[in-house]
Amino acid sequence: MKHVSPLQPAAETKVKMPTRRALAKQQTRGKVLAAARRLFSEQGYEGATIRDIAAAAGMSTGAVFANFTDKSDLFREIMLTDLAALTEAMREAAGRGRTVEDALLKVFTAGYAFYKTQLPLARAAFSVSWSPDDGPALRNAQGVQEMHQLFTELLEAAVERGELGQEAEVKLRTQMLFDAYLSNFPQAIFQGWSLDALQARARDQIRILLAGARRG
């Protein structure tokens, strides 16, 4: 058996570099997604066409279809990317909460603030999420499941601290909190509610939903 000195450097692991073609494809996808995000944000889902997106990206419609099946495929990827960024922002906000109510309010507010600056995109996401074709994929996306998990973690931590009772029905309250969070988007998107107004409504919703779970 060949002896290997402990001072002998280990063999370098070969890292497979992406090919020039793969890099070009990645850059094309990036340009298409950036253009699509801008047009969806400005014109909404229905207003932005594949032809417009291709022109904004400086390429042909064929190049777009070479990377994405259709407009809904493009939009879905943007939404999934946003959901990942949103859940990260929500977790960071939750970490600043002093109590379970405060943490939940910060989570809700982070979600509203995330979309407040891009209302046409939020309006498109809201409408698409309830469409029979593309809705289920968005509603069951990993980012949505992670939001549910965050609510669950906050409630379970509150139970462990004694802030909420052991019979808090965490699973049910998680769903109710998530539904309450979503219920305020029509006011934000279609009625122009300010962030302060949304926050005040969310504060009342959270207080009511947790009232029966508090330790007496």
* 118 and 176 belong to one structural domain: yes
Task: Output the pTM of the full model.
Answer: 0.80
From 53, 68, 83, give the residue that closes a domain. 68
* 130 and 154 belong to one structural domain: yes
Q: Say which residues have a Cβ less than 8 Å from residue 150's Cβ, sequence separation at least 6.
A: 87, 90, 91, 94, 107
CB 194 within 8 A of CB 89: no
Q: What is the pLDDT of residue 15?
A: 56
The domain in which residue 35 lies consists of 18-68
Per-position pLDDT tens, the chain of length 216: 445 455 555 555 565 666 876 677 788 899 999 999 999 888 888 889 999 999 999 999 999 999 999 998 899 899 888 889 999 999 999 999 999 999 999 999 999 999 887 787 888 887 777 666 666 666 777 888 999 999 999 999 999 999 999 888 999 999 999 999 999 988 988 888 999 999 999 999 999 999 988 865
Instruction: Identify the H or E element spanning 6.
Output: none
- How many DSSP H helices and E strands does the chain contain? 11, 0
* 144 and 181 belong to one structural domain: yes
Q: What is the pLDDT of residue 164?
A: 94
DSSP 213: T
* 37 and 123 belong to one structural domain: no
In a domain, 9, yes or no: no
Q: What is the pLDDT of residue 134?
A: 63
Q: Say which residues have a Cβ less than 8 Å from residue 127's Cβ, sequence separation at least 6.
A: 45
Q: What is the pLDDT of residue 12?
A: 53
